[in-house]
Amino acid sequence: MTPETIAQLAEYLENAELNAQPVAQISRAHPDITEADGYAIQHEIRRRKTARGTQIIGFKAGLTSRAKMKQVGVETPSYGFLADYFADADGGEIERAKLIHPRVEPEIAFVLKKPLRGPGCHIGAVLAATDFVMPAMEIIDSRYENFKFDFPSVVADNSSSARFVLGGLARKVEDLDLRTLGMVLEHNGKPFSFGAGAAVLGHPALAVALVVNLLARRDEGLEAGNVILTGGITEAVACAAGDHVCLRMQGLGSVSARFV
Ligand code: OOG
Ligand code: MG
């Protein structure tokens, strides 16, 4: 793809996000789109936002569990960036009208105390650089009609990133077995899905290493203080205005929000 096409598709997808209006999958008009094109478009969206003063506060891994891959029919993990305005408060309200067709998924968030750079980033480096982990709900919102996409299209669309809520307790990784850590996602007071940390690549710290090693292709890395969402442990639940979601994580308390 030419730089002009990349810039034009970044504007198309960012406008879809900012206006909460779904658009056609970009692979329809550009059937030869590659993974590299998808990331080039995502990075152009990031550049547009930072040029307006938006801060990038971290990154997310996507499609790191079987349940997530199955739900959307894409089998390759991806990453996306997290902008400052994506963060919503625990126990607070999420404005449904600013989103297209939001879904909520349960994740483990890592917050770093040291920078991480790849290639060659491994689970040990991630654990040594982690300050603490927290329960997180990610609110994904594909900009594509009917939440349907292929891999390059979802990469271009910042891996469906829209909002996230961190909450519950912040705990040190050395005090937890993140593989057997259990969780329940409740939707309107009823259990919706259940899982354990190992659903994410066998260990959620591996999702942080994956993001670091993918960022290294652009000679980028993670900074101290960055938050990294490691990917949905279970399938995501679609939410309407008025819906309430609560994630309970073993030994880490709970995080909740209401769509208004
Ligand atoms: C793509 C983003 C996936 C996750 O946690 O797996 C993701 C999507 O499902 O729309 O955020
Ligand atoms: Mg996610």
Cβ neighbours of residue 196 closer than 8 Å, sequence gap 6 or more: 179, 180, 181, 182, 183, 233
> How far is ligand 1, taken at its centre, from the CA of residue 159, in Å?
6
Q: How many domains does the chain have?
A: 1
Mean pLDDT, residues 48-68 taken together: 98
Cβ neighbours of residue 48 closer than 8 Å, sequence gap 6 or more: 10, 11, 14
pTM of the model: 0.98
Q: How does pLDDT run across 96-111, given as a tens digit for each residue? A: 999 999 999 999 999 9
Dihedral in degrees, nearest 10, Cα atoms 209, 143, 254, 179: -30
d(CA 197, CA 178): 5
Phi-psi region of 65 (alpha: psi -120 to 50; beta: other; left: phi over 0): beta
Position 107 scores a pLDDT of 98
CATH (domain of 238): 3.90.850.10
- What's the pLDDT band for 113 if we cut at 50, 70, 90? very high
Instruction: Decide whether any atom of ligand 1 lies within 6 Å of the 68 Cβ.
Output: yes
Position 58 scores a pLDDT of 98
Position 144 scores a pLDDT of 98
Share of the chain above pLDDT 90, in %: 100
d(CA 91, CA 183): 18
For residue 67, give its domain range: 3-259
What is the chain's mean pLDDT, rounded?
A: 98
Which residue, judged by its Cα, is nearest atom 9 of ligand 1?
72
Instruction: Decide whether any atom of ligand 1 lies within 6 Å of the 173 Cβ.
Output: no
> How far is ligand 2, taken at its centre, from the CA of residue 60, in Å?
7
Mean pLDDT, residues 124-130 taken together: 98
Share of the chain above pLDDT 70, in %: 100
Residue 244 bridge partners (DSSP): 258
